[in-house]
C-alpha cells in the first residue's frame, strides 16, 4: 500500500537527500511513497515571514506561532478537527514526545497518510497540538536542533517496512527489535581474514545448530548492551503466562 508523507518544515531543502537516495529514493521513484514538502514560511503574512514569537510568561527562546501552522496543515489536509481520522496520522517531532520504536514504525507503515511537523526553538504554541490533534513523537533522549532529522529517521524506518520497498520481503521481519532482541553477528567470505576466523558452526551446514548459535549470540549481545530490552521481553512472557491460566 502506498503512503503519502506531508512534511511541514522551515528547512524543506534538508530532505533532498532522503527523497532521492537509497531505499526511500527508490520507493519514491517507483510510486510506493509520495513525499510532499511544505515550507512553513509560505504561510506567513508579514514581511519578515516570521513563524515564531516570544513565550507568554517569559523565558528564553522562541515558540512556533499557531497561525502559519494551522494554515499549512489546513492547506495540506483541508479543514481538520482535533480528532483522529482513519488512515491519517498527524505527528509533531519534538523531544517532549513519546519515544519512536519499532512497534510504532510498524503501526505507521499501515497508514495511508502521515503529516509530519518539524519543531524548532523552544517548541510549539500548545494550541497547535490540541487544536489540530497532533501526537508528539521523539526519537530518543537527547536534544537536536530541530525535528527535520527525526522526521527523516521516521520516514526511513516506515518506508523500509512497506511491502515492496526492500529487496527481500522477509528481511525486515528477521532483524533487530522485531522479536525484542538485537541481531546476531553476521559473517561473509573469506572464512579467515587477518587471522580472524568465521565461527565453525556457520560453515557446518547444520541448520539446527546454526539457529541455536544465532539465538544464543543474539541474547548475549542484547544482555551486554541493552538489558532493558530483555527485561521488557521477560515481562511480556510473564504476562502471556498469566493470560493462559
Ligand atoms: Cl523529535 N526533536 C528534537 N529537536 N530533538 C530531539 C527529537 C526531536 N528527538 C530526540 N531529540
- Tens of pLDDT, residues 67-113: 999 999 999 999 887 888 888 999 999 999 999 999 999 999 999 99
**For residue 6, pLDDT beyond 90:** yes
Q: Which cell is 236 given?
A: 511480556
Would 64 be classed as within a structural domain? yes
**For residue 244, pLDDT beyond 60:** no
Q: Which of 129, 159, 189 is the last residue of a domain?
A: 159
Does 183 share its domain with 152? no
In the predicted model, what is the mean pLDDT of residues 142-167? 96
Does 44 share its domain with 94? yes
The answer for residues whose C-beta is within 8 angstroms of residue 32's C-beta and 6 or more apart is 2, 3, 159, 162, 164, 165
Distance, in Å, from the CA atom of 150 to the CA atom of 11, rounded to the nearest integer, reads 13
Reading across the β-sheet that carries 3-9, which strands appear in turn?
A: 33-39, 3-9, 113-118, 88-99, 135-138
How many domains is the chain built from? Answer: 2
Would 167 be classed as within a structural domain? no
pLDDT in the model for residue 169: 67
Dihedrals phi, psi of 216, to nearest 5 degrees:
-65, -45
Distance, in Å, from the CA atom of 27 to the CA atom of 147, rounded to the nearest integer, reads 22
Does 101 share its domain with 211? no
Is the C-beta atom of 150 inside 6 A of ligand 1?
yes
CATH number at residue 59: 3.40.1280.10
Ligand 1 atom having least distance to the Cα of 97: 1
Ligand 1 atom having least distance to the Cα of 151: 1
Does 34 share its domain with 151? yes
Q: Which cell is 183 given?
A: 541481531
Q: Which of 108, 132, 159 is the last residue of a domain?
A: 159
**For residue 63, pLDDT beyond 60:** yes
**For residue 213, pLDDT beyond 90:** yes
The predicted model scores a pTM of: 0.92
Does 17 share its domain with 123? yes
Would 170 be classed as within a structural domain? no
Does 95 share its domain with 206? no
Is the C-beta atom of 149 inside 6 A of ligand 1?
no
Q: What is the DSSP letter of 190?
A: -
Does 108 share its domain with 133? yes
pLDDT in the model for residue 79: 84
| Mutation probe of ligand 1 site: the residue of 93, 118, 152 with most atoms within 8 A of C-beta | 93
Does 62 share its domain with 144? yes
Does 23 share its domain with 122? yes
Q: Which of 159, 189, 217 is the last residue of a domain?
A: 159
Does 182 share its domain with 153? no
CA torsion, points 175, 103, 19, 39, in degrees to nearest 10? Answer: -160
**With b meaning 16 or more CB within 10 Å and e meaning fewer, what string describes 116-136?**
bbbbbbebbbeebbebbbbeb
Would 166 be classed as within a structural domain? no
Cα-to-centroid distance, 152 and ligand 1 (Å)? 11
Range of the domain at 184: 176-243
Distance, in Å, from the CA atom of 179 to the CA atom of 120, rounded to the nearest integer, reads 34
Is the C-beta atom of 181 inside 6 A of ligand 1?
no
**Listed residue (139, 109, 119) closest to 5, CA to CA:** 109
Is the C-beta atom of 93 inside 6 A of ligand 1?
yes
Three-point CA angle 227, 228, 233, nearest 5°: 100
CATH number at residue 189: 1.10.1270.20
Cα-to-centroid distance, 137 and ligand 1 (Å)? 8
Question: Cell numbers 541474547 correspond to what residue?
Answer: 219
Distance, in Å, from the CA atom of 158 to the CA atom of 215, rounded to the nearest integer, reads 26
Query: Helix 22-29 vs helix 148-159: angle between axes, to the nearest 10 degrees?
Result: 70
Tell whether the torsion through CA atoms of 71, 75, 76 and 79 is positive or negative. positive
| Mutation probe of ligand 1 site: the residue of 8, 63, 97, 143 with most atoms within 8 A of C-beta | 143
**For residue 242, pLDDT beyond 70:** no
Is the C-beta atom of 146 inside 6 A of ligand 1?
yes
Is the C-beta atom of 142 inside 6 A of ligand 1?
yes
Amino acid at each position: 500500500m502506498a503512503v503519502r508523507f506531508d512534511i511541514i518544515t522551515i528547512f524543506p531543502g534538508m530532505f533532498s537527500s532522503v527523497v532521492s537516495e537509497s531505499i526511500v529514493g527508490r520507493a519514491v521513484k517507483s510510486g510506493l511513497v509520495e513525499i510532499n514538502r511544505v515550507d512553513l514560511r509560505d504561510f506567513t503574512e508579514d514581511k519578515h515571514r516570521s513563524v515564531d514569537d516570544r513565550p507568554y510568561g517569559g523565558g528564553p527562546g522562541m515558540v512556533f506561532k499557531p497561525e502559519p501552522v494551522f494554515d499549512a496543515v489546513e492547506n495540506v489536509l483541508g479543514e481538520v478537527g482535533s480528532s483522529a481520522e482513519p488512515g491519517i496520522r498527524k505527528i509533531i517531532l519534538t523531544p517532549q514526545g513519546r519515544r519512536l520504536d519499532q512497534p510504532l514504525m510498524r503501526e505507521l507503515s499501515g497508514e495511508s497518510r502521515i503529516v509530519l511537523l518539524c519543531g524548532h526553538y523552544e517548541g510549539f504554541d500548545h494550541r497547535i497540538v490540541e487544536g489540530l490533534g497532533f501526537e508528539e513523537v521523539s526519537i530518543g533522549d537527547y536534544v537536536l536542533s530541530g525535528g527535520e532529522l527525526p522526521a527523516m529517521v521516521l520516514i526511513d524506518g516506515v518506508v523500509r517496512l512497506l511491502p515492496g520497498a526492500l529487496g527481500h520481503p522477509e528481511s525486515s521481519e528477521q532483524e533487530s527489535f522485531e522479536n525484542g532482541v538485537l541481531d546476531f553477528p553476521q559473517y561473509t567470505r573469506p572464512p579467515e581474514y587477518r587471522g580472524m576466523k568465521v565461527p565453525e558452526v556457520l560453515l557446518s551446514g547444520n541448520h539446527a545448530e546454526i539457529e541455536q548459535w544465532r539465538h544464543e549470540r543474539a541474547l548475549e549481545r542484547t544482555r551486554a548492551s541493552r538489558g532493558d530490552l530483555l527485561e521488557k521481553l521477560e515481562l511480556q512472557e510473564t504476562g502471556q503466562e498469566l493470560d493462559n491460566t
